[in-house]
Amino acid sequence: MEQDEAVTALGALAHDSRLSIYRTLVKCGPSGLPAGDLAKVVRIGATALSFHLKEMVRAGLIRSWREGRFVRYSVEIEGMRQLLSFLTEDCCDGRPELCSNNNFGASGLCAEACRETDMENDEPYNVLFLCTHNSARSVIAECLMNSLGQGAFNAYSAGSTPRGEVNPFALKILKNHGHKTQGLRSKSWDEFSGEGAPEIDFVFTLCDDAAAETCPVWPGNPITEHWGMPDPSKAEGTDSNKLAAFANTYSLLHYHVTKFVSLAKQDLDAKSMRRKVKEFSEEVRRRNVVGVESLDAEG
């Protein structure tokens, strides 16, 4: 990043509302928020929000994309990384271990910007799947990741407002495919944001409601993406119809998790991993719109 670009970025942040918007989007990670939900969180009118968002897009701080009728915004991760690198260039004379020992709030950021860190592959990756109620999709994804990951992944699931019990059709479809269901439960995502929680490497939201909510700050600075897919628990009709909806969800998640496991096992540095997972997640969302038929077409 050049100095004039840094001045533009910092100038865009030098405003109460824009700083609040940016910090909110940083919290939500790459999945971001729809403009309407962002306005509610930062308590700002639609016209003013639109003005501030345009300024921040122009400065390279955030990005936008359309999802159906909504425009979604998220932090431009590469832009943030470049700004931090510019601000901390040659920090502590190139000795990041001194930065990490400083007693100030951004201790980890300075050390991170002083060196490019790789994704460590000698320890299992911790993966967290999120849905609002943590009763169906996220639980199925948790079981699939723990099974298909073959010890290279520790998978968890949670929700912002957990239902308190796992959907019986989710349990049935998992048992039909030979998964162990003992110990599965619907739980709050607060269990993974507090002291003593495992450091999470990847966070995937599976429902649009969870993606739109203001997420906790996860330990470990994880890669966060959205894998939005239909909720099988909304299926109507006979029990056979409902079970078929869960079978479709299982098939989609099985396909995605299999592909993701292969991707995550590649020897990639942190920057490349984030880019690859982002590209893969865009593919996941496209396939989820088409459904199981797209998998069948591939044979």
Q: Would you please indicate which residues are annotated as catalytic (active-site) residues?
A: 131, 207, 215
The burial class, CB within 10 Å (0-12 / 13-18 / 19+), for 139 is buried
How is residue 155 annotated by DSSP? E
Q: What count of other Cβ atoms lies within 10 Å of the Cβ of residue 247?
A: 17
250, 140 in Cβ contact below 8 A? Answer: yes
Q: How crowded is residue 278: how many other Cβ atoms within 10 Å of its Cβ? A: 14
Q: What are the DSSP calls for 247-298, one per residue? A: HHHHHHHHHHHHHHHHHHTS--BHHHHHHHHHHHHHHHHHHHHH-HHHHHHT
Question: Which residue shows structure tokens 């909806």?
Answer: 245
> What is the amino acid identity at position 82?
Q
